[in-house]
Every structure is written in structure tokens, then in C-alpha cells.
Chains A and B, each alone.
Chain A
Amino acid sequence: EAGVVQSPRYKIIEKKQPVAFWCNPISGHNTLYWYRQNLGQGPELLIRYENEEAVDDSQLPKDRFSAERLKGVDSTLKIQPAELGDSAVYLCASSQGQSNTEAFFGQGTRLTVV
């Protein structure tokens, strides 16, 4: 069974440029999470989806970040415009349901903003 797939693995962009990350969760997993992990820190939740509905986006900086999960499967996370402080690893995770504690993570996208 394929795990959570993210792309790209690495991205380097100049500040003020847009960037997008893509995530394909494990088949059958209704819950999808986007996390940001800064160096030396644990992951911090940005947004959680139940199917196509964003049920928790309280930590998403909505002035520059947006996300979508069309058809309740794949998801994209976008930053526009990127700032230097956005440099981090962006992790996608999925689980069978929001009450299911077994969340599986992708490899992450390492973003560097210069």
C-alpha cells in the first residue's frame, strides 16, 4: 500500500514568489492534515480536512496561505507571497477518520525562501 505522497520534496524560491505543495493521502483516508515543522520543533497543525471540508483552519495564516481538497482526496497548500519566515518543512498526514489516532505522514516538502 502506498503511503502519503508529497511533492515536490524540495523547493527554493525567492521571497514574494508563490509556491504550492501537493499531497496525495493514503487511499480511503478521510482526514487530511497539513503541518509545518520548523527546525528543531515539532509539527504544528495548519489545517485539517474531513473529506473536502476544512474543519480546523484556525492556525492557517489566511492572509497568505490557502489550501484546498477538491473531491476529498488530493490536497494542495499554497503560499502567496512567500516570506523568509515561511522556510520550513511542510508535512501532509492522513488518517481514516478524525477520531482515528493513527495518522501517517508523508516525507514532507522542505521549503527555503531566499
Chain B
Amino acid sequence: QKEVEQDPGPLSVPEGAIVSLNCTYSNSAFQYFMWYRQYSRKGPELLMYTYSSGNKEDGRFTAQVDKSSKYISLFIRDSQPSDSATYLCAMQNSGTYKYIFGTGTRLKVLA
């Protein structure tokens, strides 16, 4: 079993839809949770990070962490075609400082 599980998609939604992206994990030592966006042939770009459980909002993006369920989510409101990319979740082990990435979910927002 992988430490971090993420549905690879692809996920296609119409413009303006609310998008929900999710990851599950198995390691209780993960304390920091990140979401990266990766456009084709580019490096990952950090969107948001959260410490422990809770919500964090930044513009159209909201990150949620539920440590009791070992489940994290990224919501994108009013999705735009420019949001079309692969979204990677990542988690950092607070003891080893090691990042573990999910496989990424490919999102396509249709105009």
C-alpha cells in the first residue's frame, strides 16, 4: 500500500464548476500537507499548505485536512480553463522532513 493515494483522473468539469480533489494517506507522522499544481512540461508549483487539521482558504482555493480520517482535499471554486493541470498532493513527515507526493490528478476544465 502506498503511503499517499490519489486518484489519477482525468477529471473533466465545465467552466464555473466546483472541483474537489482528494488524497488519503496512511502515515500518522505526516503533519504538513501541500497541494501543488503542475502544468504540462513544467515543474510543480506550490498552491497551498496546511499544518495539521483544519481549513485554509486562498482566493478560489480551499484546502482541508482531516487527520482523524487521514484525508485531505482541495476545492477550487468557479473553475477556469486555466486551472487545467495536474494537481499533486504532498505530505511532509515531521520527524524525517521527507516529502511524499501523490500520483497527481489530471484536471480539465472545459470552456
Contacts and interface: CB of A to CB of B under 8 A. Distances in A.
Q: Does chain A bind chain B? A: yes
Interface of A: 4, 33, 40-45, 48, 56, 91, 93, 98-99, 101-108, 110
Given A42-B103, A44-B101, A102-B49, A4 B43 contact: yes
Nearest to A55: B97
Interface in B59-111: 88, 90, 92, 96-99, 101-104
Contact of B98 (A41, A56, A110): A56
B27 to A, nearest CB: 14
Contact of B104 (A41, A91, A103, A106): A41
Nearest to B43: A105
A79 B85 CA distance: 30
B104 A42 contact: yes
A42 B49 contact: no
B97 to A, nearest CB: 4
Contact of A106 (B43, B88, B96): B43
Contacts of A93: 43
B44 A45 contact: no
Nearest to B88: A42
6 contacts: A42-B4, A48-B97, A98-B97, A101-B92, A105-B44, A110-B41
A42 B35 CA distance: 12
A67 to B, nearest CB: 16
Contacts of A41: 103-104
